[in-house]
A = this chain, B = another copy of it.
Amino acid sequence: MTILPRDDTNEEAGRLYLEDLHVGQRFTTGSHTLDAGQIKAFALQFDPQMFHLDEESATDSLFAGLAASGWHTAAISMRLIVDGGARIAGGLIGAGGEIHWPRPTRPGDTLHVVSEIMEIRPSRSRPDRGIVMMRDETRNQNDEIVQTFVAKLVVWRRPGG
């Protein structure tokens, strides 16, 4: 994806500004399938705990089998959204949010993300932007939710709008 300059001379077609969003609007991404190798490679670098690294040890853990790091699920979800979720003008800029992992992501899972706009708050102090609350649900191939993230996004108003 490319960064949009904040004027309309070089606007990428179809990108969404604050005025283009409404509460209840939904976006669905493409999908990504994980395997054990991806789970272990991420864990080795960022979350080297045995339930993310070794099938046998994971059997005796709370997860009762190899599970992806929650941060891996979060990172994959972000990639799916950047590639094919809400195409926000200027990019997806998150200030943070509330994240939950109600069930583990497993080897072989195919994930996709369904996002919904929950709230839109134009900024009073900064007329060029607003805050958008977007709920991202990451679902597996059985439509079970493996992650929810209620994100607080900075979204630009349309220049000259």
Contacts and interface: CB of A to CB of B under 8 A. Distances in A.
Interface of A: 1-3, 5-6, 42, 45-51, 57-58, 60-63, 69-71, 74-76, 78-79, 82-83, 90-102, 148, 154
Contact of A100 (B49, B57, B63, B95): B95
A135 to B, nearest CB: 13
Nearest to A47: B78
A95 B63 CA distance: 12
A1 B48 contact: yes
Copies in the complex: 2
A50 B99 contact: no
Given A69-B78, A94-B101, A98-B96, A3 B47 contact: no
Contacts of A102: 95
A57 to B, nearest CB: 5
Nearest to A62: B93
22 contacts: A1-B48, A1-B50, A3-B49, A3-B51, A3-B57, A3-B61, A6-B60, A42-B75, A47-B75, A50-B91, A51-B91, A51-B93, A62-B90, A62-B154, A63-B93, A69-B78, A71-B71, A71-B78, A74-B74, A75-B75, A95-B100, A96-B100
A88 B141 CA distance: 33
Nearest to A76: B46
